[in-house]
Structure 1
Amino acid sequence: MSSPDPESLLQRQAEAWWVRLHSGRATRADADAFREWATHSTAHAQAWREVMRTWSALDPLLAEEAVRQASRAGAFSLRGLSAALALQSPRRRAFLGGAVAASVTAGVMAVDPPLGLWPSVGELTADYRTATGEQRQVALAQGISVRMNTQTLINRIGADTGPRGMVLVEGEAEIVANGASDFLVETGGGRLVARAARFNIRHTGPQVCVTCLDGRVTVSVNGEQRSLEAGRQVTYDKAGLQEVVRADEASVSTWRTGILSFDRMPLVEVIDEINRYRPGKVLLRNEELGRTLVRMQLNLRSIDNAPVMIRELYGARMRSLPGGIVVLS
């Protein structure tokens, strides 16, 4: 077995020192030991400077995002928060106790983590989940197949041996129901029922969009009901259902092809969609640029190139930071 690379070893040691010194538990002895380590050699000092550069670049963005999320966050479970924090790695727990955690309550960040740099309470407790950029096929029950898109959380309804339905907590999924009884889906305050159907559900914001691709699906919200046949679509939120419209089936299923296609969509919405598939975070700091209508196609296999394409096509300034974070302005 080969020995660790000396540079990588120093980098890990420097990161460990950063966590310790920002944990709120550092002692005078720790400070003395750190001073001895950092002055041991030029390489030690360089490793520490690199770690400072990395975290110092991230801290303001994390703090700003945390404050923004706190302003729109609702109630959260302290029990869920405690469980979530207990499951974090030591480095992330320490980071939560450091400068960023001081900017807002830690509970808000556990429920809605800034920049998505650690799992939320919902992600940690979901029965099925997909990570950023991941797609997954699940046989939920006999005759029920679910294709999960990126950043999707699903919980079962009913027993493990034979769930009678599911909750789409958030994300997007295509469901094929071919069972002997009705299959139930709850999401965004609405209820869907299907027995023999193929349908797509997208719940990535306040609205839910349901598209029937084959068969028939019944959608109910606040006592209202709509019946969807193949090629029909309806959107709803907690206020109620909109009218049924004809679906652009090719657009609905584009995520299955591995291609993202945008036709005169505001750049701010394009970036939101890119962030669903790309690890890290693309942040747009230019409202005027965000209103620009975009036409472009992106291959999910090369989604990391999206910020560069936006820079080249639309003249955005680009600043790359550690952790896959890119600032466009």
Structure 2
Amino acid sequence: MKTHPNNKISPDAGLEEQAWVWLRLLHSGDVRQWDLDGFKRWVRTSPQHQAAFSAVRHHWELVKSASGAMAPVAAADLGITEGKKNNPRLAKPGRRLFMGTAITAAAAAAVAVVHPPFGLWAAPGEWGADDRTVIGEQRSFELNERVQLTLNTQTSIRRQVVADQVAGIELLGGEAAVDLASAGRVFSVSAGVGKSTSSEGRFEVRYLEGKVCVTCLAGTVSVSHPAGERTLTARQQTVYDRRALSGIAMIEPQLISAWRHGEIKFNEVALGKVIDEINRYRPGKVVLMNDAVRNKPVSGSFYIASLDLALSQLQRSFDLQARSLPGGLYLLS
């Protein structure tokens, strides 16, 4: 929980996102009784939930007030009157109001650019990528005679060329698998502040939300980081961010690499994290609005090509209500 100096509760970004979804649904004109019941359960979950909804409702009212004040001005400027009413002409909005509106719009646009909604376009850090996959797309191709590269969904890379040869890639975001057909020159994958190198074998690098996960499937992989180095062998993994490098952990390759065979697999993974992973592959967005089940464990395998079926299975397993809205928005409450 976050607090301000005046001891008011400050909701986190995740709860505010959920609150915006609830607010849009409640103002959609198509609210069902179970929607209202779900909302009541959600908002009563904690003081943070109540604070999140109060914050977005306050912002909503400000936007409505601004829109309502400006609409009659536009009508008056056009000389439009309604019936025989003698409505007083409102003064034109001053430069300060105009500038305030412009600044608000510019700020909203900046947020949208830095954090593209639903992955509809690349974030600034991924601009200028040599290769990129979109939501749900996977692509495999040869970089040279001995390097096979597979890009998972929403992945961007830049090729690193030395002496007219692709000697490595910079992973800007997403997940990439490297298969080296034979021993030879070192191939590298840079991601964040670290670099992974190998001269033979198979390895995968996943770079999401500032965290990098390096997995060795065969051969050896050396991971260099400002905090140290790790050497991985088959079935080993390490994780780093900009500040720290973890130790070495043993992994099950069939879970980590399932995406290369059209599946995503989970073993005792929290439902909230399962939903996050599904959102990487599915157009639109799934929003889990029932925090009571967010940390419930999930084990199973889902086909990437039929994730809506997976969502139906999760809905039944956790006794959730499901609601599909335009734009691929899918609510679980």
* Global fold match (TM > 0.5): yes
Q: Do the aligned residues in 1 keep the contact of 2:126 with 2:173 (CA within 8 Å)?
A: no
Q: Do the aligned residues in 1 keep the contact of 2:119 with 2:135 (CA within 8 Å)?
A: no
Corresponding letter in the other structure for 1:172 = E
| Counterpart residue number, 1:315 | 319
Q: Using a 3 Å threshold, how does the CA distance of structure 1 residues 102 and 287 change in structure 2: closer, same or farther?
A: farther
Q: Distance in 2 between matches of 1:181 and 1:258?
A: 31
1:117-164 C-alpha deviation (Å, 9 max, x unpaired): 444334553111111111101222342211111111111122694222
**Aligned positions of 1:119-134 closer than 5 A:** 119-134=122-137
Please say if 1:149 is aligned against 2:152.
yes
Q: Distance in 1 between matches of 2:302 and 2:230?
A: 34
1:235-276 C-alpha deviation (Å, 9 max, x unpaired): 122222211122211111111222222222111100001011
Q: Using a 3 Å threshold, how does the CA distance of structure 1 residues 118 and 156 change in structure 2: closer, same or farther?
A: closer
Q: Using a 3 Å threshold, how does the CA distance of structure 1 residues 105 and 164 change in structure 2: closer, same or farther?
A: same
Q: 1:139 pairs with 138, 142, 148, which one?
A: 142
Q: Distance in 2 between matches of 1:326 and 1:262?
A: 21
| Counterpart residue number, 2:46 | none
**Aligned positions of 1:76-115 closer than 5 A:** 102=105, 104-115=107-118
| Counterpart residue number, 1:182 | 186
Q: What displacement does 1:200 show? A: 1.2
Unaligned runs of 5+ in 2: 1-23, 29-51, 57-100
Q: Do the aligned residues in 2 keep the contact of 1:142 with 1:179 (CA within 8 Å)?
A: no
Corresponding letter in the other structure for 2:168 = G
Please say if 1:172 is aligned against 2:175.
yes
Corresponding letter in the other structure for 2:172 = V
TM-score by length of 2: 0.65
**Aligned positions of 1:47-62 closer than 5 A:** none
Tell me the secondary structure at the aligned position of residue 310 of structure 1. helix
Q: Which has the higher helix share?
A: 1
TM-score by length of 1: 0.65
| Counterpart residue number, 1:279 | 283
Q: Do the aligned residues in 2 keep the contact of 1:284 with 1:328 (CA within 8 Å)?
A: yes
Q: What displacement does 1:186 show? A: 0.5
**Aligned positions of 1:13-92 closer than 5 A:** none
Q: Do the aligned residues in 1 keep the contact of 2:202 with 2:216 (CA within 8 Å)?
A: yes
Q: Which runs of 4+ in 1 moved over 6 A?
A: none
Unaligned runs of 5+ in 1: 1-52, 58-63, 69-97
Q: Distance in 1 between matches of 2:203 and 2:278?
A: 23
1:174-233 C-alpha deviation (Å, 9 max, x unpaired): 101346321121102111111112111122233221111111111011151111122222
Q: Do the aligned residues in 2 keep the contact of 1:158 with 1:164 (CA within 8 Å)?
A: yes
Q: Distance in 2 between matches of 1:307 and 1:131?
A: 21
Q: Do the aligned residues in 1 keep the contact of 2:224 with 2:230 (CA within 8 Å)?
A: yes
Tell me the secondary structure at the aligned position of residue 311 of structure 1. helix
Q: Using a 3 Å threshold, how does the CA distance of structure 1 residues 263 and 184 change in structure 2: closer, same or farther?
A: closer
Q: Distance in 1 between matches of 2:106 and 2:152?
A: 33
Please say if 1:260 is aligned against 2:264.
yes
- Higher CA-based Rg: 2
Corresponding letter in the other structure for 2:290 = N
Tell me the secondary structure at the aligned position of residue 110 of structure 1. helix
Q: Distance in 2 between matches of 1:276 and 1:324?
A: 13
Q: Distance in 2 between matches of 1:159 and 1:121?
A: 25
Tell me the secondary structure at the aligned position of residue 320 of structure 2. coil
Please say if 1:220 is aligned against 2:224.
yes
Q: Distance in 2 between matches of 1:326 and 1:227?
A: 42
Q: Do the aligned residues in 1 keep the contact of 2:126 with 2:172 (CA within 8 Å)?
A: no
Q: Distance in 1 between matches of 2:129 and 2:286?
A: 26
Aligned residue-pair number:
238
RMSD: 2.8
Q: What displacement does 1:104 show? A: 4.2
* Identity %, equivalent residues: 38
Q: Using a 3 Å threshold, how does the CA distance of structure 1 residues 179 and 109 change in structure 2: closer, same or farther?
A: farther
Q: Distance in 2 between matches of 1:123 and 1:188?
A: 12
Tell me the secondary structure at the aligned position of residue 165 of structure 1. strand
Q: Do the aligned residues in 2 keep the contact of 1:144 with 1:179 (CA within 8 Å)?
A: no
Q: What displacement does 1:282 show? A: 0.4
Q: 2:309 pairs with 301, 305, 310, which one?
A: 305
Corresponding letter in the other structure for 1:214 = A
Q: Distance in 2 between matches of 1:316 and 1:164?
A: 49
Q: 2:241 pairs with 232, 237, 240, which one?
A: 237
Q: Using a 3 Å threshold, how does the CA distance of structure 1 residues 219 and 281 change in structure 2: closer, same or farther?
A: same
